Amino acid sequence: MSLTMYSASVPAFVRLLGSLRAILEKAAAQAEARKIEPAALVGFRLYPDMFPLSRQVQIATDMMKGCVARLAGVEPPRYEDSETTFAELVARIDKTLAFIGQFQPAQIDGSEDKAIQLKSPRGELNFSGQDYLQFFVLPNAYFHVTTAYNILRHNGVEIGKQDFLGRA
């Protein structure tokens, strides 16, 4: 079986979001057990010019839901970006999983050459569907989930590589 646009996107996103959800749940449990204010973790940045944990999760979910929607030719849902707690971040992930879970392979497969256009503060970005997935969304999704993982690990949350990789 060859790699299709659906199989290169939706299953990878489901697994990545599942891992992100699990590490956030571990962080929430450990914050409670250690009497750490959860807001200190949710608002933590690795460096002053980097986004906090909450924004890392928001961008990762936006990347994944936007990708699936655009490849399928539908408008991505808009989220408020107002999450300030672990529970709200987990709910956002669940909402994203529910959204991308409703797509079927036939809606996404064959979108390799689909024109994808994004508006950005730096100007208009234009991609083929395959380049959008392979060179824009996947690297960004992994970057932001990795950064969320690193924020939590830096703050002593007991997570490891297997937590990031998720379950096979």
Q: State pLDDT tens for residues 26-47.
A: 999 999 999 999 999 999 999 9
Q: Which domains does the chain have, with CATH numbers?
A: 5-101+116-165 (1.20.120.450)
pTM for this predicted structure: 0.96
CA–CA distance, 56 with 150 (Å, rounded to integer): 11
pLDDT at 50 over 70: yes
How many helices and strands in the chain, by DSSP H and E? 8, 2
CA–CA distance, 127 with 153 (Å, rounded to integer): 34
The DSSP code sequence of 116-138 is EEEEETTEEEEEEHHHIIIIIIH
- Res 166: pLDDT: 85
124 forms beta bridges with: 119
Mean pLDDT in residue range 143-149: 98
Angle 162-166-168 from CA coordinates, rounded to 5°: 110
118 forms beta bridges with: 125
Residue with tokens 């690990």: 153
120 vs 156 pLDDT, higher one: 156
CA–CA distance, 61 with 80 (Å, rounded to integer): 12
